[in-house]
């Protein structure tokens, strides 16, 4: 019995010793071997973190000389840090914000709702702080203490809001549909993107890439550590062919001419002029140097005035350069001449008798004003004095499909190749539902079903200046990154070549040069100019039954070695010659700039 008792005692002692030893080993393992692991877990349990988005600057849009047209200006947003950092008191911070009139009256309510949702973060309080407000916050020491955060952010600013607003476009908040597409690209829901114009077309290049900052908060002390996870990357710079000074000159000339017509012309002759467009392009590169659409608006205030702009008379939100649709009138005649010469229907010396009325059809005999001509008329004379009878006859013999096809090669009723959406318009064809012989006669003088944009008219003028070769037009010249490296550049591209070359187009250019000499304002230009006017009739009539007319003009200069081509349209302008002062203003600018 005594031996059994001793065995039990020894067994108990050994068992207890083993358990105690295991406990010591486990304790050692926890305190020393796994010390870092448990310390980290403890630290994690006492911390929370959140991420702060660091906005990136949007790239600038600059003109051909590098002058900024649209850029990001820096503004500051205010956020309250939750929980209060060490050595700060939330109540005192809120009181200071109230005294500075920042954060709003219901900041306590906002804070309560915010704290019920998250344990740590930053509550947005105010956007677009003024410089004075920022100085007040700094003077109170709130940003320095970490009680609030001031975040720099870019806000889109047009240097001159009236300079090509429809073309430059604007940025705005994303719609639900846009967000569904953009979130995969890493955009935040509240980010703004380009909504129209060049801002929208070049969104991916202009938009910067936001960075992020991880903020870790100690639950007990409120202490913060910040780690930059990614740095923001500013957007690229978009360089345009547009010249800001020429744009201002052209806008002023068009606006002044509209006002002059309103003040000095009788009814039906320009008094009703109300809107228009003017375009100047580089004949060699296809770069759009100026593009004016009137009426326009100020990019600095379009948001506040959008409702009024959307219903305003004259539709200022419409970009007439790209989307305005106008019959070209007699400005179409060079295309008919080119088509007929190339087809061998006429020679430059061929004549048509102008008796004031076209009598080929018994039931339809349209007239000609016979200004400066009558009797046998050659092609050059027909262009110089815009003889309708000549082009009625040549157009009939040629056929509407043939001369419309040539006009399309020259740029009318065809895409211009720009980076922006444009309305293609249309020409007159024998397959049109309303086609009849009389319609073909009207189409030969730029009416009928024909409807084109001012940009197409400028492309057409450029093609005539280049003996039928039509380059693609471009608003954008290049894109550079923040280091100044070119990442994209527009390449000259010929979209079409009308047949015949110089043999066809030299006499047409001569006729256009002679026409410019019939207009005093162009005859006195410092640069020799060529032009063709158009006075397309509108549906509306005056009391005497005569029709209102638009004023259309195409031209280029200098005559011998063209550098620029232009198109001008004035709605209800009363006749093509009324647009001549706008072309003259462009010529004066080129002469003064030494670019002709």
Identical fold for domains 49-102+112-240 and 244-299+318-592, yes or no, is no
Q: What is the DSSP string of 122-191?
A: EEEEEEEE-HHHHHHHHHHTHHHHTSEEEEEEEEEEESSTTSSHHHH-EEEEPPHHHHHHHGGGT--TT-
- Express each pLDDT in 491-549 by its tens digit: 989 999 999 999 999 999 999 999 999 999 999 999 999 999 999 999 999 988 899 99
Give pLDDT, residue 595: 78
Give 430-438's long-range contacts (Cβ < 8 A, gap of 24+).
Answer: 430/399, 430/400, 430/401, 435/400, 437/361, 437/364, 437/396, 438/361, 438/364, 438/366
- Compute CA 241 distance to the chain's CA centroid, rounded to the nearest angstrom: 13
pLDDT greater at residue 172 or residue 460: 460
Is the domain 244-299+318-592 a CATH 3.60.15.10 member? no
DSSP state of 595: -
Report residue 253 as tokens.
Answer: 């000339």
Q: Is 135 exposed, middle or buried (0-12, 13-18, 19+ CB in 10 A)?
A: exposed
Give pLDDT, residue 224: 84
Residue 61 pLDDT greater than 50, yes or no: yes
> Band of the pLDDT at 2, cuts 50, 70, 90?
low
Residue 377 pLDDT greater than 80, yes or no: yes
Query: How far apart, in whole angstroms, are the C-alpha atoms of residue 565 and residue 558?
Result: 9
Query: How far apart, in whole angstroms, are the C-alpha atoms of residue 194 and residue 550?
Result: 34
Q: Are 56 and 208 in contact (CB under 8 A)?
A: yes
> Band of the pLDDT at 41, cuts 50, 70, 90?
very low
Tell the CATH superfamily of the 49-102+112-240 domain. Answer: Penicillin-binding protein 2a (Domain 2) (3.90.1310.10)
Query: How far apart, in whole angstroms, are the C-alpha atoms of residue 222 and residue 553?
Result: 72
Give pLDDT, residue 42: 42
Residue 367, preceding peptide bond in cis (omega within 30° of 0):
no
Please report the sign of the dihedral spanned by the C-alpha atoms of residue 108, residue 112, residue 117, residue 121. Answer: positive
Query: What does the domain layout of the chain look like in residue ranges?
Result: 49-102+112-240, 244-299+318-592
pTM for this predicted structure: 0.88
Q: Are 327 and 413 in contact (CB under 8 A)?
A: no
- Express each pLDDT in 259-313 by its tens digit: 999 999 999 999 999 999 999 999 999 999 999 999 999 999 988 999 999 999 9
Give 135-141's long-range contacts (Cβ < 8 A, gap of 24+).
Answer: 136/100, 137/78, 137/100, 137/102, 140/96, 140/100
Give pLDDT, residue 183: 84
- Express each pLDDT in 450-492 by its tens digit: 999 999 999 999 999 999 999 999 999 999 999 999 999 999 8
Helix (H) or strand (E) holding 293: strand 288-294
> Band of the pLDDT at 191, cuts 50, 70, 90?
confident
Residue 351 pLDDT greater than 90, yes or no: yes
Q: Are 461 and 283 in contact (CB under 8 A)?
A: no
Give pLDDT, residue 535: 97
Give pLDDT, residue 585: 99
How large is the average pLDDT for residues 36-59?
72
Query: How far apart, in whole angstroms, are the C-alpha atoms of residue 118 and residue 249?
Result: 57
Helix (H) or strand (E) holding 381: helix 379-385
How large is the average pLDDT for residues 70-97?
91
CA distances from 377 to 68, 368, 384 (A): 52, 12, 10
Give pLDDT, residue 32: 57
- Express each pLDDT in 43-53 by its tens digit: 445 678 888 89
**DSSP-derived pairing of the beta strands 192-196 and 170-173:** antiparallel
Helices (H), 57-121: 90-99, 107-117
Report residue 548 as tokens.
Answer: 């209102």
């Amino acid at each position: 019995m005594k031996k059994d008792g001793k065995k039990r005692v020894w067994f108990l002692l050994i068992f207890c010793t083993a358990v105690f030893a295991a406990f010591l080993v486990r304790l050692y393992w926890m305190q020393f071997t796994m010390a870092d692991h448990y310390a980290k877990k403890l630290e994690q349990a006492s911390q929370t973190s959140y991420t702060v988005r660091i906005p990136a600057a949007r790239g600038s849009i600059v003109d051909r000389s590098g002058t900024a047209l649209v850029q990001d200006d820096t503004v500051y947003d205010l956020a309250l840090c939750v929980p209060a950092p060490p050595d700060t008191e939330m109540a005192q911070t809120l009181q200071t914000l109230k005294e500075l009139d920042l954060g709003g009256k219901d900041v306590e309510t906002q804070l309560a709702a915010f704290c019920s949702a998250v344990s740590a973060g930053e509550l947005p309080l105010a956007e677009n702080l003024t410089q004075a407000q920022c100085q007040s916050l700094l003077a109170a020491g709130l940003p320095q203490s970490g009680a609030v955060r001031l975040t720099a952010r870019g806000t889109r600013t047009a240097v001159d809001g009236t300079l090509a607003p429809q073309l430059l476009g604007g940025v705005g908040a994303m719609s639900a549909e846009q967000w569904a597409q953009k979130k995969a690209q890493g955009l935040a829901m509240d980010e703004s993107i380009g909504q129209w114009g060049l801002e929208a077309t070049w969104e991916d290049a202009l938009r910067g890439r936001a960075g992020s900052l991880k903020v870790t908060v100690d639950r007990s002390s409120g202490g913060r550590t910040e780690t930059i996870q990614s740095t923001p990357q500013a957007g690229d710079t978009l360089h345009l062919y547009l010249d800001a000074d020429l744009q201002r000159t052209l806008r002023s000339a068009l606006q002044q001419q509209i006002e002059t017509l309103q003040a000095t012309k009788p009814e039906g002759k320009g008094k009703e002029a109300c809107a228009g467009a003017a375009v100047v392009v580089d004949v060699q590169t296809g770069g759009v140097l100026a593009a004016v659409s009137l009426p326009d608006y100020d990019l600095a205030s379009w948001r506040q005035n959008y409702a009024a702009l959307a219903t305003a008379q004259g539709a200022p939100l419409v970009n007439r350069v790209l989307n305005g649709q106008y019959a070209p009138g007699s400005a179409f005649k060079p295309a008919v001449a080119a088509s007929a010469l190339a087809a061998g229907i006429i020679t430059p010396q061929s004549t048509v008798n102008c008796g004031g009325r076209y009598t080929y059809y018994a039931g339809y005999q349209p007239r000609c004003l016979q200004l400066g001509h009558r009797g046998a008329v050659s092609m050059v004379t027909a262009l110089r004095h815009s003889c309708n009878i000549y082009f009625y006859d040549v157009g009939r013999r040629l056929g509407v499909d043939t001369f419309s096809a040539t006009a399309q090669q020259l740029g009318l009723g065809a895409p211009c190749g720009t980076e922006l959406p444009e309305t293609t318009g249309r020409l007159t064809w024998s397959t049109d539902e309303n086609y009849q012989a009389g319609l073909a006669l009207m189409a030969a003088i730029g009416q009928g079903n024909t409807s084109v944009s001012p940009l197409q008219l400028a492309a057409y003028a450029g093609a005539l200046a280049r003996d039928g070769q039509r380059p693609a037009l471009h608003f954008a010249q290049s894109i550079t990154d923040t280091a100044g490296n070119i990442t994209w550049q527009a390449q000259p591209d010929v979209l079409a070549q009308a047949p015949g070359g110089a043999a066809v187009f030299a006499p047409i250019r001569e006729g256009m040069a002679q026409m410019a000499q019939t207009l005093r304002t162009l005859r006195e230009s410092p640069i020799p100019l060529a032009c063709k006017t158009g006075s397309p009739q509108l549906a509306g009539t005056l009391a005497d039954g005569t029709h209102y007319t638009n004023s259309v003009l195409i031209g280029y200069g200098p005559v011998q070695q063209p550098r620029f081509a232009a198109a001008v349209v004035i709605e209800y302008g009363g006749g093509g010659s009324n647009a001549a002062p706008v072309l003259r203003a462009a010529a004066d600018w080129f002469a003064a700039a030494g670019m002709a």
